[in-house]
C-alpha cells in the first residue's frame, strides 16, 4: 500500500495499511468532538479489521500512481528520503554479521519508488509486495529496465502476505505498518523473521507521534503510533533494534520519521 507521508512505496508519510504511508500529518483522533458527542477511539477504529483494511484499499485505489501521489503531495521530499535511507542501509553493512546483498523485499511498495532508487541498485534482485493492482502494474512498467533484477511483484496486502522462508537479506517496510492493526503488525514481523536469510535484517521507516497517544487518520485508514508503542510490538514479535536513526531535513510540519533496523531476538 502507500503511505501517509510517504505513502506506499514508502508506504506513507503519515501512515498506510499496506500501502505506503505519506508524510502528511494525520488527524489527531484525540481532538474533542463537537457538541460533546462521543468520539471514535483508536480501539473502535481497529476493532473491525475488515473495514479498516477495506477503507484503506478504497482510499489508495483513488490515488494517482505517481511519486507525488505516493507521498501524499510531498513528492519534493523523495530525494532527501532516499538519501537518508541509503546512508542508513550502508551503515547496516558495518554490523557483524553483515547482511548479504542478494535479495531484498520492498513492502507496501506502491509504484516502486524505493525499489527503483534504493534497493535495486544495491541488491542482485528485489521483490515487491503491494496491495493495489494499479500500483503493481505501474511498478512493473517503471522498473522494467532493471530486467532480471526485478523479481516478483506480489499483489497482496501485508496482513495476508507470507514471504518465502529464508529468502531475503533485507526486508524494507516504509510508511506502511500504520495500515496494519497491532496484532497484524506482530504477525507480519513474525513471518518476516522466518523469511530472513542468514544475517538478514528487517528495516522499518515510519512516522511516529511526539507524545504517547496514537493518532488516527480516518481518511486513509491508518494510525501513527508513538515510538515506545512500536517497540512494545517489536518485543512481542521477538525482534530487537540493532540500529535506530531519525530522518533529518524533512519539513517541520511532518511527523518525526525514524529508521529501525531489526533482527530476531537471540534466545539464550
- pLDDT, one tens digit per residue, over 216-231 is 998 899 999 999 999 9
Comparing 19-28, 57-66, 202-211, the range with the smallest average pLDDT is 19-28
Is 205 within the bounds of a domain?
yes
Does residue 142 fall inside a structural domain? yes
Q: Is the separation of the CB atoms in 15 and 207 below 8 Å?
A: yes
The pLDDT tens digits for 29-41 are 444 444 444 455 6
What is the model's pLDDT at position 110?
A: 98
Q: Which domain holds residue 197?
A: 64-264
48-67: average pLDDT? 93
Positions at the binding site for S-adenosyl-L-methionine: 108, 113, 158-159, 174
Residue 3 falls within a domain, yes or no? Answer: no
User: Does a structural domain hold residue 35?
Assistant: no
226 occurs within a structural domain: yes
Indicate the annotated binding residues: 108, 113, 158-159, 174
Cell of 68: 507525488
> Which residues, at least 6 apart from 61, have a Cβ–Cβ distance to it below 8 Å?
132, 134
Is 80 exceeded by the pLDDT of residue 8? Answer: no
The pLDDT, as a whole number, for residue 9 is 42
Residue 1 has pLDDT above 70, yes or no: no
Check residue 177 and give its pLDDT.
97
Name the band, by pLDDT with cuts 50, 70 and 90, for residue 48.
confident
- Structure confidence at residue 107 (pLDDT): 98
- Interatomic CA distance for residues 177 and 204, integer angstroms: 8
- Kindly give, in sequence order, each residue whose CB lies less than 8 Å from that of residue 128, ignoring residues fewer than 6 positions away: 105, 106, 109, 112, 115, 136, 139, 151, 152, 153, 154
- Average pLDDT of 68-80? 96
Place 197 in a pLDDT band, splitting at 50, 70 and 90: very high
Distance CA 127, CA 68 (A): 22
What tens digit of pLDDT does each residue of 86-138 get? Answer: 999 999 999 989 999 999 999 999 999 999 999 999 999 999 999 999 999 99
Residue 51: CB atoms within 10 Å = 12
Of 234 and 46, the structure prediction assigns the larger pLDDT to: 234
Domain CATH for 134: 3.40.50.150
Count of structural domains, the chain: 1
Does 4 fall in a domain? Answer: no
**Structural domain contains residue 72:** yes
Q: What is the pLDDT of residues 145-194, one digit of tens each?
A: 999 999 999 999 999 999 999 999 999 999 999 999 999 999 999 999 99
Tell whether 70 is covered by a domain.
yes
Cα end-to-end span (Å), the chain = 37
Q: Parallel, antiparallel, or unpaired: how do β-strands 257-264 and 239-246 relate?
A: antiparallel
Amino acid at each position: 500500500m502507500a503511505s501517509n507521508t510517504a505513502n506506499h512505496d514508502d508506504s506513507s508519510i503519515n501512515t498506510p495499511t499496506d500501502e505506503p504511508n505519506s508524510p502528511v500529518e494525520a488527524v489527531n483522533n484525540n481532538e474533542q468532538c463537537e457538541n460533546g458527542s462521543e468520539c471514535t477511539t483508536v480501539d473502535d477504529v481497529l476493532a473491525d479489521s475488515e473495514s479498516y483494511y477495506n477503507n484503506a484499499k478504497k482510499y489508495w485505489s483513488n490515488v494517482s500512481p505517481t511519486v507525488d501521489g505516493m507521498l501524499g503531495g510531498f513528492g519534493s521530499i523523495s530525494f532527501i528520503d532516499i538519501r537518508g535511507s541509503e546512508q542508513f542501509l550502508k551503515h547496516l553493512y558495518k554490523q557483524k554479521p553483515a547482511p548479504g546483498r542478494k535479495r531484498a523485499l520492498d513492502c507496501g511498495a506502491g509504484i516502486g519508488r524505493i525499489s527503483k532508487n534504493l534497493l535495486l541498485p544495491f541488491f542482485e534482485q528485489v521483490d515487491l509486495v503491494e496491495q493495489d493492482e494499479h500500483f503493481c502494474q505501474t511498478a512493473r512498467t517503471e522498473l522494467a529496465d532493471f530486467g532480471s533484477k526485478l523479481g516478483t511483484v506480489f499483489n497482496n496486502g501485508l496482513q495476508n502476505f507470507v514471504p518465502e522462508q529464508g529468502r531475503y537479506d533485507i526486508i524494507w517496510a516504509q510508511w506502511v505498518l500504520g495500515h496494519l492493526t497491532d496484532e497484524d503488525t506482530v504477525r507480519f514481523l513474525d513471518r518476516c523473521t522466518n523469511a530472513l536469510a542468514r544475517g538478514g535484517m528487517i528495516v522499518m521507516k515510519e512516522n511516529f507521534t511526539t507524545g504517547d497517544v496514537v493518532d488516527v487518520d480516518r481518511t486513509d485508514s491508518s494510525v501513527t503510533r508513538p515510538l515506545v508503542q512500536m517497540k512494545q510490538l517489536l518485543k512481542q514479535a521477538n525482534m530487537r533494534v540493532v540500529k535506530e536513526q531519525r530522518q533529518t531535513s524533512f519539513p517541520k510540519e511532518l511527523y518525526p520519521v525514524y529508521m529501525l533496523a531489526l533482527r530476531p531476538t537471540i534466545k539464550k
